[in-house]
Amino acid sequence: MQFESFSDFIAMGGYGFFVWLSYGSCAAILAGILIGSINDSKKLKKEVKAQMLREERIKKAKEEARV
Amino acid sequence: MWKWLHPYAKADRAYQLCNTLLPYFIVITVVCLVVGWVWGLAFAPADYQQKDSYRIIFIHVPSAILSMGAYSSMAIAAIVALVWQLRNAELAVIAIAPVGAAMTAIALITGAAWGKPMWGAWWVWDARLTSELILLFLYLGVLSLYHAFEDKKAAGKAACILAIVGVINLPIIHFSVEWWNTLHQGATITKFDTSAIDPSMLWPLFINIAGFAGFVGVISLIRLKNEILQREKHRPWVRSLVSRG
Amino acid sequence: MRVNHSYWQLFKAVYSKDVTLAFRQRAEIVNPLLFFLIVITLFPLAIGPEPGLLARMAPGIIWVATLLSTMLGLDKLFRDDYHDGSLEQMIASPYPLSLCVLAKVFAHWTITGLPMVLMAPMFALLMNLEPQALGATILTLLIGTPLLSFIGAIGAGLTVGLQKGGILMSLLVLPLYIPVLIFATSAIDTSSMSLAYGGQLAILGAMLAVACIAAPLAISSALRVSVS
């Protein structure tokens, strides 16, 4: 451990603002693109499911109309 | 010799491959990033000249390396897509572009945050920072071009052409910016000399590079899966995949 | 009846058609030049007329204005042909598309780049450029403007089929223009200090040589994608 106390760790020898700005923005961007990509995949799967249900309903409606 | 690759030209096999590879990449990424960040922030010794602000190197250098690595991978995928007419390779180009742009943005922001305490200015027209900024424009150009097309097949091919033209220009741009910078540069800029870096700092740097590389891999795989799903929405294999859960 | 034409005849045909059409609409030629002149006029108004300052900034301003006016003219490089179907004819013809593209780019340079080279002395005068830098200015414009036409044509080819292709094309093409800008302004700066600038010119020449060969290929693939 290079730092004596937690407050030393945050202070980073006086450069705390810049170090935490860098690590913070990096974490934010990485998290942002990860969450965005996962949300895209969920949205796509939901769309496919909705389309399948829609087609089911249309098929049922056609069969009932025939009967 | 390359016959074993042929099945992966099909969308469903490529999707399965992404699924198979994803766990390994996730594990590498999480382990390397956690170990790398903790080591870099808390355990690596402070630099003699730069004290603790040098710790930014553990995200600045990996993101800069990966920004160029991702562009090269994009360009290779683009060449494969155009030469062998492979749709999956086109999709890979679009899958890699956003995370490459993210890496470039991180490199620029951390570079500025490091530059302020070191050089006294948030932004200097240093050769590397300027080249990195232009690289961001190239990434955004590929993405804008792809999204401007209605027909996604044409969009993919156009994006591949632009990616290849960009990669040819990349060394030219870097060389010309270095030239421009050495002509105009004052003598006050100090660069962190990574060749003389101490092993106690080198190891966390390598681990972080591996972690960032793994992250680029994870996001590229997830986005490639998304692009494949998007293109193949109406195919039965997608239907059965989605209904299985 | 002549069925086969030589490559040179094809080149001449496409080139003269484009140049003739442009001369019939004088505005096409004059407007980018006026834009160039206005941009150059704006800078002294913005930064003050002090001669020393203008002389220092002259190479940069002249070249940025060149980039912007070339960009203005690039949009119509392929657009008219795209809309009236002659682009499809060129792609479908048995003659190499690269050759037609080469002719079109050369015509574009004749219409936009060459007038800029000819008017360079006037712009140098307005910007109070050092007299010894005039030669370098003309030479860099002479080598650089065809290069700008080639690189810009790649962007024009990629975006010709798009609705709002104009601004997107500028975004794609400007990063690729940056090396040309750097070496050209460096050459003019060096010559204004009465030093040798052959190195920068040589690099510009090399880039032009590569562009002559590689750009038509890229432009052809881009056009095939846009028209498909």
Q: Do B148 and C164 touch (CB under 8 A)?
A: yes
Mutation target among A30, A42, A49 for the B interface, most CBs of B within 10 A: A30
Provide mean pLDDT across the span B149-166. Answer: 93
SS3 letters across chain B: CCHHHHHHHCHHHHHHHHHHHHHHHHHHHHHHHHHHHHHHHHHCCCECCCEHHHHHHHHHHHHHHHHHHHHHHHHHHHHHHHHHCCHHHHHHHHHHHHHHHHHHHHHHHHHHHHHHHHHCCCCCCCHHHHHHHHHHHHHHHHHHHHHHCCCHHHHHHHHHHHHHHHHHHHHHHHHHHHHHHHHHCCCCCCCCCHHHCCHHHHHHHHHHHHHHHHHHHHHHHHHHHHHHHHHCCCCHHHHHHHHHC
B49 pLDDT band (50/70/90 cuts)? Answer: confident
pLDDT score recorded for residue C123: 87
Q: Do B176 and C165 touch (CB under 8 A)?
A: no
Alpha helices (runs of H) in chain C, residue ranges in sequence order: 7-24, 26-47, 51-74, 76-84, 86-92, 97-108, 114-126, 134-159, 165-192, 198-227
B51 pLDDT band (50/70/90 cuts)? Answer: confident
- For chain B, state the CA radius of gyration: 20
Q: Do C182 and B161 touch (CB under 8 A)?
A: no
Residues 6+ apart with CB under 8 A from A25: B106, B109, B110, B113
- Rounded to an integer, what distance in angstroms lies between the CA atom of residue C77 and that of residue B115? 43
pLDDT in tens, A16-59: 888 889 999 999 999 999 999 999 999 999 999 999 999 999 99
- Rounded to an integer, what distance in angstroms lies between the CA atom of residue C167 and that of residue C178? 17
Q: Does residue C147 contact residue C204 with C-beta atoms inside 8 Å?
A: yes
Interface check A35 vs B, CB under 8 A: no
Chain A contact set for B57 (CB, 8 A)? none
Is residue B190 over pLDDT 60? no
Chain B contact set for A14 (CB, 8 A)? 51-52
Mutation target among A8, A15, A42, A59 for the B interface, most CBs of B within 10 A: A15
**Secondary structure letter of residue C98 according to DSSP:** H
* Cα–Cα nearest to C225, from B135, B89, B77, B145: B145
Interface check A23 vs B, CB under 8 A: yes
Chain B contact set for A12 (CB, 8 A)? 52-53, 55
Q: Give φ, ψ of B51 to 5 degrees.
A: 55, -130
Instruction: Report domain extents, chain A.
Output: 6-66
Residue carrying structure tokens 């490639």 = B224
- For chain A, state the CA radius of gyration: 26
Q: Which residue of chain C has the CA closest to B150?
A: C162
pLDDT score recorded for residue A41: 94
Find the CB nearest C182 among B149, B169, B177.
B177
Residues 6+ apart with CB under 8 A from C102: C11, C212, C216
Task: State the number of CA atoms in the 13 A half-sphere of C155 facing the CB.
Answer: 30
Average pLDDT over chain B, rounded to an integer: 88
Three-state SS for C4?
coil
Chain A contact set for B59 (CB, 8 A)? 22-23, 26
Q: Is the ipTM of this complex over 0.85?
A: yes
Is residue B129 over pLDDT 90? no
Q: Do B42 and A3 touch (CB under 8 A)?
A: yes
Q: Which residue of chain A has the CA closest to B108?
A: A22
- For chain C, state the CA radius of gyration: 18
Chain C contact set for B154 (CB, 8 A)? 161, 225-226, 228
Torsion of CA C177, C181, C183, C186, to 10 degrees: -170
Interface check A24 vs B, CB under 8 A: no
- In terms of C-beta density within 10 A (0-12 exposed, 13-18 middle, 19 or more buried), how is residue B62 classed? buried
Instruction: Report domain extents, chain C.
Output: 7-227
Q: Which residue of chain B has the CA closest to A28?
A: B106
Find the CB nearest B46 among A13, A23, A40.
A13
Residue carrying structure tokens 């030669």 = C135
Interface check C55 vs B, CB under 8 A: no
* Cα–Cα nearest to B97, from B69, B74, B68, B130: B74
Q: Which residue of chain B has the CA closest to A38?
A: B222
pLDDT score recorded for residue B194: 46
pLDDT in single tens digits along all 228 residues of chain C: 455 788 899 999 999 999 999 999 888 788 888 889 999 889 888 988 888 888 888 899 999 999 999 998 898 899 989 999 999 999 998 889 999 999 999 999 999 999 999 998 988 888 888 888 898 999 999 999 999 999 999 999 999 988 887 889 999 999 999 999 999 999 999 998 888 889 999 999 999 999 999 999 999 999 999 998
Find the CB nearest B102 among A29, A45, A47.
A29
Is residue B132 over pLDDT 80? yes
Chain C contact set for B148 (CB, 8 A)? 159, 162, 164-165, 168
Identify any residues that bridge with B51 across adjacent strands, giving them in sequence order.
Answer: B47
Q: How far is B50 from chain C (nearest CA, A)?
A: 33
B184 pLDDT band (50/70/90 cuts)? Answer: low
List chains adjacent to chain B, taking adjacency as at least 3 C-beta pairs closer than 8 Å. Answer: A, C
Q: Do A2 and B242 touch (CB under 8 A)?
A: no
B193 pLDDT band (50/70/90 cuts)? Answer: very low
Interface check A1 vs B, CB under 8 A: yes
Q: Give φ, ψ of B47 to 5 degrees.
A: -75, 150
- In terms of C-beta density within 10 A (0-12 exposed, 13-18 middle, 19 or more buried), how is residue C210 classed? middle
- Rounded to an integer, what distance in angstroms lies between the CA atom of residue B182 and that of residue B187? 10
Q: Give φ, ψ of C121 to 5 degrees.
A: -55, -40
List chains adjacent to chain A, taking adjacency as at least 3 C-beta pairs closer than 8 Å. Answer: B
Instruction: Report domain extents, chain B.
Output: 20-45+54-184+207-235
Q: Do A30 and B46 touch (CB under 8 A)?
A: no
Residue carrying structure tokens 């006037």 = C122
- Rounded to an integer, what distance in angstroms lies between the CA atom of residue B157 and that of residue C213? 21
pLDDT in tens, C100-126: 999 999 999 999 999 999 998 988 888
